[in-house]
Amino acid sequence: MKKISFKLNGETRFLHVEPNETLLDVLRDRMGVKSPKCGCDNGDCGACTVMLDGKTVRSCLIFAIEVDNHEISTLENISKNGLSPLQKIFLEKNVFQCGYCAPGMILSATELITNNPHPSEHEIKEAIAGNLCRCTGYTPVIEAILELTKKD
Amino acid sequence: MAIPYEFAYERPETAEQAVKLLGKYGKNARILAGGTDLANQMKQGFRVPEILIDIKNIKEWEVIKMVNNELHIGSLVTFNDLRKSQLIREKLNILFEAAGLVASTGVRNRATMVGNICSAVACMDSAAPLLVHEAVIHTLSIDGERTIPIQQWFVDNRKTAIQDNELVTHVSIPIPEKKYAGAYQKMMRYSGEDLSQSNVGVLALSDNKYHVAFGSVGPTPKRSLKIENLLNTKGISKETIEEAKAMIETVIAPITDVRATKEYRMHMTKVMFERALKSAVERFKQPKLITQ
């Protein structure tokens, strides 16, 4: 067991972890953060996406012990003060069905538009390519991001 | 899912501490950088290290820089670092292009290029660009530094020339003095998660010289001097391209697996070779920064 501390959604947290615990398990099972999901458990599906120091990563492929002194933010952080414009447009346009991929999809799209406020359709597709969705066929998601980010 | 067995974890602050630890544990240790391959291999029981040595605090290995006429890429440089680097975009367009095709953004934010060549899975994306650019791999151990030309690095599927007590500090890539341009082609089912079924890298150099490498079509990625000789002596024409495509059959050894048959891989490798060659030649004639 090693004591680690990291910022989780803006708050400094301390806990003891074993080296073999993944970040995903620790977030969900020990810290009650349920937005990252376990889909494929090997980094392909993107359901476990969280932000580590501002970049999207796969929490199923990271050991919790690695994030000592780093900053993690999850979907819960994005909607801390109400829904973000991206979440609002996703909701308005009803882009998701089951919602299992939604937290990862929203984080990936948020990272994209933070770095690139007016992405092309190609850039949007590239940004969410690692978030698998088996309901929507992606089209409504892409259209909503395009509408939100189009130049006036 | 947690890894179903226990292991130790250390995060040294200096290169010296890292190699000391590695010297102590040898083959029972694994170096942890991005971990995107390693965590999976440990979940599957393919690797069962006693200790992980996390090198992410060793900041000197995060760097991409020019040293005289060589471009140095540190062992902590991720694929998205490569994508964001103006130096890479200008000097190594083929690596820039290949880096953008590795898995997805969320993986590229974490996965390192050096990790990619250390895992040495046959379908890796960084091998062909590094082979055509004649990269050199720099290792460190308690016994000192060693350099290994990339041609000698890949020994077998998932096996490299690295010793148990060594780690990779960086890769150096000599930048040709005269004009050059590269192109990378990757065959995959869809973007975002898929591994390459075949990949081809071509570097067009001044004086009508070419370097050609193939990946995912044999146990190790492979540069072909035979095809290069043909192109270098006969020049690029419709006939030479056909002759080179026929020669590919004697150079690569694809297998049939769940992702593609060997016949399909063979056919597509020829098609992609022609595309990569033409694209490299085009870029050589009309240099401009590629964007994707």
| Domain extents in chain B | 8-54, 61-174, 180-285
In this structure, what are the phi and psi dihedrals at residue B264, rounded to the nearest 5 degrees? -65, -45
Domain parsing of chain A, residue ranges: 2-77, 85-149
Q: What pLDDT shows up at residue B193?
A: 58
> Could you say which of B8, B54, B106 has the minimum Cβ distance to residue A58?
B106
Whether A56 and B5 lie within 8 Å, measured CB to CB:
no
**CATH for the stretch A85-149:** 1.10.150.120
Whether A129 and B192 lie within 8 Å, measured CB to CB:
yes
Q: Are B211 and B205 in contact (CB under 8 A)?
A: yes
CATH architecture, domain defined by B61-174: 2-Layer Sandwich (3.30)
pLDDT over 90 at A95, yes or no: yes
Residue B102 three-state SS: coil
Whether A43 and B54 lie within 8 Å, measured CB to CB:
no
Instruction: For residue A18, list chain B residues with Cβ-Cβ distance below 8 A.
Output: 2, 6
- Give tens-digit pLDDT for A63-85: 999 999 999 999 999 999 999 99
What's the complex ipTM?
0.95
Q: What is the mean pLDDT of residues A47-70?
A: 98
B8-54: which CATH topology?
Answer: 3.30.43
pTM of the model: 0.96
CATH label, B180-285, candidates 3.40.50.150, 3.10.310.30, 3.30.390.50, 3.50.50.60: 3.30.390.50
Whether B40 and A61 lie within 8 Å, measured CB to CB:
yes
Residue B241 three-state SS: helix
**Can you spell out the DSSP letters for B188-232?**
-SSTTTPPPSEEEEEEEETTTEEEEEEESSSSS-EE-HHHHHHHH
**Cα distances (angstroms) measured from residue A6 to each of A29, A65, A80, A131, B279:** 17, 10, 18, 26, 47
CA distance B90 to A124: 24
Instruction: For residue A61, list chain B residues with Cβ-Cβ distance below 8 A.
Output: 35-36, 39-40, 107, 110
Q: What pLDDT shows up at residue B45?
A: 93
Q: How far is A81 from chain B (nearest CA, A)?
A: 25
- Chain B residues touching chain A at CB-CB below 8 Å: 1-9, 11, 32, 35-36, 39-40, 43, 52, 54, 56, 80, 100, 103-107, 109-110, 190-193, 292
Whether B5 and A66 lie within 8 Å, measured CB to CB:
no
Q: What pLDDT shows up at residue A9?
A: 98
> Could you say which of A43, A65, A132 has the minimum Cβ distance to residue B40?
A43
Give CATH superfamily name and number for A2-77.
Beta-grasp domain (3.10.20.30)
pLDDT band with cut points at 50, 70 and 90 for residue A152: confident
What is the sign of the dihedral through the CA atoms of B264, B155, B38 and A111? Answer: negative
Q: What pLDDT shows up at residue B192?
A: 58
Instruction: For residue B80, list chain A residues with Cβ-Cβ distance below 8 A.
Output: 55
Instruction: For residue B54, list chain A residues with Cβ-Cβ distance below 8 A.
Output: 66
Q: How far is B205 from chain A (nearest CA, A)?
A: 31
Q: What pLDDT shows up at residue B257?
A: 87
> Block means of pLDDT (10 residues each) for chain B, length 292 residues?
92 98 98 97 95 98 97 98 97 96 94 97 93 98 98 96 98 97 88 78 97 94 97 96 97 89 95 97 88 68
Q: How far is A80 from chain B (nearest CA, A)?
A: 23
User: Which residue of chain B has the CA closest to A64?
Assistant: B2
Q: What pLDDT shows up at residue A50?
A: 98
